[in-house]
Amino acid sequence: MTQAAFFVLTALADQPRHGYGILQEVEQLSNGSLQLRVGTLYGVLDRLSTDGLIVLDREEVQQGRLRRYYRLTDEGIRALNTEAELMAAGATAAMERIAAGRHHPTADTTPPPFPGHGLTGGAA
């Protein structure tokens, strides 16, 4: 699952949202690290719809513009849950390895001595 798909599904996890609402929610959920463009969003929505993970919830006209609201399907909830569990397990493994690396002595990074280093060239 792509990062964009994960965050779009997450944005829809608590309630149906329209396109602009999804864009705002994705940016907030990702702490600003993912700012989807409109074309990218609708490409993701099309794929998620084709895969049966989201459906059109309703359409409303507001200020003369049509807003389409999307919601997760049961399959979408399962897919998001599975992906979130995988990501959490991966994050835990990464944190454990980082912590383990801090507690183990690292390999000696001192360069090997230059051949003949310390020798004066004479008999001692």
pTM for the full model?
0.78
Res 124: pLDDT: 45
Strands of 1-124, DSSP E: 17-18, 54-62, 65-72
Largest CA distance in the chain: 97
Mean pLDDT of the chain: 89
* pLDDT score recorded for residue 113: 63
Tens digits of residue pLDDT in 58-84: 999 999 999 999 999 999 999 999 999
Tell me the pLDDT tens digit for each residue of 78-121. Answer: 999 999 999 999 999 999 999 998 866 655 555 666 555 555 55
Q: Could you tell me whether strands 17-18 and 54-62 are parallel, antiparallel, or unpaired per DSSP bridges?
A: unpaired
